[in-house]
Amino acid sequence: MTDRERLANLKQAMELIAEAVEQLPESCRDLAGNALLNIAAEAVADDVGCAEAGRIFARLGDLLGQGHRPPMSGALCLSGFDA
C-alpha cells in the first residue's frame, strides 16, 4: 500500500469515526475521546509492542505540548518510520 493510499484510508477512517461519535447519545459523547484513545493505545501496543508504543505516545505528547494538533486531513508524523 502506498503512502497516498494509507493517507486516504486514514482520512476515510477518521471521517467514519467522527460520524459515529456524532450518533452517540449526548451523555456518551464526552467520553468518546477517552474511549478512542484507549482503543488506539491497545491497538498500537499490540502492533508494535508496549515499549515502542510508549515512545510513539511520548512523541505525540511532545507534539501536543508544543501546540501541534493532528489535522483531519492527514496525520502527525510521530517517528522517522511514520508510526
Written as nine digits, the cell of 76 is 502527525
Average pLDDT over every residue of 10-24: 90
Alpha carbon 26 to its chain's center: 22
pLDDT at 2 exceeding the cut of 60? yes
Longest dimension (CA), the chain: 39
Separation between Cα atoms, residue 18 and residue 47, nearest integer Å: 23
Predicted TM-score (pTM) of the model is 0.70
Written as nine digits, the cell of 47 is 502492533
Q: What is the pLDDT of residues 35-56, one digit of tens each?
A: 999 999 999 999 999 999 999 9
Separation between Cα atoms, residue 23 and residue 56, nearest integer Å: 30
